[in-house]
A and B are shown apart, each in its own frame.
Chain A
């Protein structure tokens, strides 16, 4: 259960971005994160942590959008690239074990939206967590 520390890191990254751009904060309306299928993150748990820990902060009520990236491998022998449903690392076409993981380990904040009409906020609750 490390989704809480991931949620807290999402807050930190967005706050740093806002601080850099505006020297202050705006209420956040929506956050989009990209999560690879093999990133050991449970989407439901992350959303729950995001919503709970965001209460009373600039993230209160923000929409949480999670884009899941499938696991993809590239066969080094037959050069075929394929998405896989099971985490078994072998080529589905030629059965070679000589494969590289191409995607599925992503974990990053893609974009977020702010409510500029709400006016700038100088300090946020729990901003130093």
Chain B
């Protein structure tokens, strides 16, 4: 006998993500899901971003990694709330699922936050498939990965709201033309906002900081 189902395979994940989103909406917290391949500079971007937001808003961070608490300790020096999720407990998962976030979100002092940045597990494929309850998906690509990343991993670039192109200070050494990267991103997703920056030198950060500030303000209804 054939039985009709028609249920989305990740419906349970989506449902949990929407519950998390509802909690964050009620608290007026803007939440960012930051995704990229390993080594693109997500944590270094955070280390440069957080000091520029402190005093203007209250920031909390969720760090996702397969193993170790190295990234959380890099953020803890700013004395802001940090939660480290290590997915090896879940079989070395390649992404953060909605449930992993939902299980730990209350470890952050939600009544005292305006912004939560989730640094997803370094991976350009799997995190694209799993909603976690964030307001915005941010994809980071760095020049050292080569300019073709958007063409090779299109799904994540189509899903994201903004792309941070990191390590632009290396453009000359790597002989990469930023217009090539811009063109490749636009081929995959012409509507994707792009910010070119360097977490090492701090170049290009004002645009990124403004983007965050605008969104936090909008979420608060200001």
Chain A residues with CB under 8 Å of chain B are 1-2, 5-6, 9-10, 12-14, 17, 21, 33, 38-41, 87-90, 97, 101, 107-114, 116
Contacts and interface: CB of A to CB of B under 8 A. Distances in A.
A5 to B, nearest CB: 7
Interface SS, A side: mixed
Contact of A6 (B4, B9, B187, B188): B9
Given A2-B129, A40-B129, A89-B190, A101 B158 contact: yes
A87 B130 contact: no
8 contacts: A1-B126, A9-B10, A13-B5, A41-B129, A87-B188, A109-B9, A110-B4, A112-B2
A38 B126 contact: no
Interface stretch (B22-30, B93-101, B212-220): B93-101
A108 B8 CA distance: 4
Interface string B11-31: 111000000000000000000
B9 A87 contact: no
B2 A111 contact: yes
Interface string B127-138: 011100000000
Given A97-B190, A116-B1, A40 B125 contact: yes
Interface SS, B side: mixed
Contacts, number: 86
B6 interface: yes
Contact of B3 (A6, A21, A89, A97): A21
Contacts of B13: 9
A99 to B, nearest CB: 8
Contacts of A88: 187-188
Interface of B: 1-13, 93-95, 97, 125-126, 128-130, 154-155, 158, 186-191
Contacts of B94: 1-2
B6 A108 contact: yes
Given A2-B130, A5-B97, A38 B154 contact: yes
Given A13-B5, A111-B4, 7 more contacts: A2-B126, A13-B7, A40-B155, A41-B129, A107-B8, A108-B6, A110-B4
A109 B126 contact: no
B164 to A, nearest CB: 20
Given A1-B126, A9-B10, A13-B9, A114 B95 contact: no
